[in-house]
């Protein structure tokens, strides 16, 4: 009887061990002490799928890590200083690397105005990631996303480790905003609103597809469209010089990371719109485009077509593609 119970317990322990060994997930945040980095790290600490949380910043990361590490969830939290070995150690073994490092906008600025500062920050962090975590999923939050994502791709290509299935521009905040704004208009629960947003992550490149939602009547609603395309400006203006969206972005970044972890751990049908290297408009010279992507153990498993659009949305997509094309030459002129 005791022997039988011992055998059962040991079988359970073996199962628990093999499950946790399979599900070990190290997540690294670069820029972890910033406005996005701190709440994002907090949300990741609350995620039971994360087993090891590595926080890196050029300032304060050990302090943020010490603080978050007192939260009574299982994951181990470590903070890293801005030394080359600190950055490498933060990255080593990571399954997911989130990058919110960089400066945010102030009123009157566009996201492209951040390029000169953020491009080199992202480039240098990408170089470290290419060396120390070449197989990780890289989630770029730093703006301008339409340009910082191609920069990471170039760095990884140069290092000979580029895998387009593992590089994502995080556009989840546009999806989160769209569902929230629609629910405000329709009096619904925002979690039930699933609005696809395609294109890129700035102004007219943000294209919500209301025709594909349960509210096709919202196509042509100019005020709603403006809120979705320029939601970031609303926050920048309200913060009045103190930065841009941080808390909602942290939630959006944590949601995208959770989707990737779920998919990596075997859940099927996990689909998120995200800015990836995409075949959809390559013939027009556009290499990166956000559309719905099915996630899986290999990262971006399947890039879905944009699908049928309303005539108004066709026009929005044209404007989006024209703007994304400008972005291509912008990156080429500012390598």
The residues carrying an active-site annotation are: 201
Q: How far apart are CA 136 and CA 261, in angstroms?
A: 12
Secondary structure class of 176 (helix, strand, coil): helix
Instruction: Name the binder of 28 from ligand NAD, ligand LMR, none, CB < 5-8 A by kind.
Output: none
Q: How far apart are CA 309 and CA 285, in angstroms?
A: 21
- Measured in whole angstroms, the distance separating CA 18 from the mean position of its chain's CA atoms is 29
Q: How far apart are CA 196 and CA 214, in angstroms?
A: 11
Q: Is 245 among the residues that bind ligand LMR (CB under 6 A)?
A: yes
Interacting residues with ligand LMR between 172 and 191 (CB under 6 A): 173
Instruction: By CB under 6 A, name the one of 37, 169, 200, 232 that touches ligand LMR.
Output: 232
Return the number of the residue (219 or 235) whose C-beta is nearest ligand NAD: 235
Least distance in Å: CB of 79 to ligand LMR? 25
Cis peptide before 144 (omega within 30 of 0): yes
Sole window of 53-61, 125-133, 228-236, 292-300 interacting with ligand LMR (rule: CB under 6 A): 228-236
Beta strands in 114-172 (DSSP E): 137-140, 167-169
Q: What are phi and psi of 88, to 5 degrees?
A: -65, -40
Query: What residues are paired with 207 via a beta bridge?
Result: 198
Rounded to 10°, the helix 145-158/115-132 angle is: 40
Q: Is 37 among the residues that bind ligand NAD (CB under 6 A)?
A: yes
Instruction: By CB under 6 A, name the one of 141, 152, 175, 224 that touches ligand NAD.
Output: 141
Q: Is 227 among the residues that bind ligand LMR (CB under 6 A)?
A: no
Least distance in Å: CB of 146 to ligand LMR? 10
| CA neighbor of 294 nearest in space, from 126, 168, 201 | 168
Q: What is the DSSP letter of 137?
A: E
Q: Is 251 among the residues that bind ligand NAD (CB under 6 A)?
A: no
Sole window of 49-57, 69-77, 84-92, 230-238 interacting with ligand LMR (rule: CB under 6 A): 230-238
Sole window of 12-20, 117-125, 304-312, 315-323 interacting with ligand NAD (rule: CB under 6 A): 117-125
Q: How many residues does the chain have?
A: 335
Q: Is 244 among the residues that bind ligand LMR (CB under 6 A)?
A: yes
Q: Is 64 among the residues that bind ligand LMR (CB under 6 A)?
A: no
Interacting residues with ligand NAD between 162 and 201 (CB under 6 A): 170, 173, 201
Return the number of the residue (31 or 211) whose C-beta is nearest ligand NAD: 31
Residue located via tokens 């949380």? 53
Residue 86: both structure tokens together = 């600190």
Return the number of the residue (79 or 144) whose C-beta is nearest ligand LMR: 144
Residue 206's H or E segment, with its range, is strand 206-208
Q: Is 143 among the residues that bind ligand LMR (CB under 6 A)?
A: yes
Q: Is 257 among the residues that bind ligand NAD (CB under 6 A)?
A: no
Sole window of 8-16, 26-34, 47-55, 291-299 interacting with ligand NAD (rule: CB under 6 A): 26-34
Query: What residues are paired with 55 via a beta bridge?
Result: 29, 79
Least distance in Å: CB of 143 to ligand NAD? 3
Q: Is 121 among the residues that bind ligand NAD (CB under 6 A)?
A: yes
| CA neighbor of 168 nearest in space, from 205, 138, 144, 191 | 138
Beta strands in 247-325 (DSSP E): 270-277, 288-296, 299-303
Interacting residues with ligand NAD between 262 and 321 (CB under 6 A): none
Q: Is 244 among the residues that bind ligand NAD (CB under 6 A)?
A: yes
**In the complex, which residues of this chain contact ligand LMR (CB under 6 A)?**
105, 111, 143, 173, 232, 235-236, 244-245
């Amino acid at each position: 009887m005791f022997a039988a119970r011992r055998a059962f317990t040991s079988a359970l322990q073996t199962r628990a061990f093999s499950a946790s060994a399979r599900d070990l997930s190290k997540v690294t945040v670069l820029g972890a002490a910033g406005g996005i980095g701190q709440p994002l790290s907090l949300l990741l600490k609350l995620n039971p799928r994360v087993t090891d949380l590595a926080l890196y910043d050029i300032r304060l990361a050990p302090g943020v890590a010490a603080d978050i590490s007192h939260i009574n969830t299982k994951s181990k939290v470590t903070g890293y200083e801005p030394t080359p070995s600190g950055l490498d150690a933060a990255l080593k073994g990571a399954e997911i690397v989130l990058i919110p490092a960089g400066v945010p906008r102030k009123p009157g600025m566009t996201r492209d105005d951040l390029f000169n500062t953020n491009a080199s920050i992202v480039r240098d962090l990408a170089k470290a990631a290419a060396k120390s975590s070449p197989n990780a999923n890289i989630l770029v939050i730093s703006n301008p996303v339409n340009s910082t994502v191609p920069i990471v791709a170039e760095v990884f290509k140069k290092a000979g480790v580029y895998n387009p299935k593992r590089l994502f521009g995080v556009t989840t905040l546009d999806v989160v905003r769209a569902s929230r704004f629609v629910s405000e208009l329709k009096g619904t629960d925002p979690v039930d609103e699933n609005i696809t947003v395609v294109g890129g992550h700035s102004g007219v490149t943000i294209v919500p597809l209301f025709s594909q939602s349960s509210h096709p009547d919202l196509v042509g609603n100019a005020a709603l469209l403006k809120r979705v395309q320029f939601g970031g400006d609303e926050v920048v203006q309200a913060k009045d010089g103190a930065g841009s969206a941080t808390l909602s972005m942290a939630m959006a970044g944590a949601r995208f990371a959770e989707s990737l972890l779920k998919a990596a751990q075997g859940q099927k049908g996990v689909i998120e719109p995200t800015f990836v290297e995409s075949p959809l408009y390559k013939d027009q010279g556009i290499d990166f485009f956000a559309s719905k992507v099915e996630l899986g153990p290999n990262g971006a498993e399947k890039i879905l077509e944009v699908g049928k659009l309303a005539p108004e949305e066709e026009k929005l997509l044209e404007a989006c593609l024209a703007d994304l094309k400008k972005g291509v030459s912008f990156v080429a002129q500012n390598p």
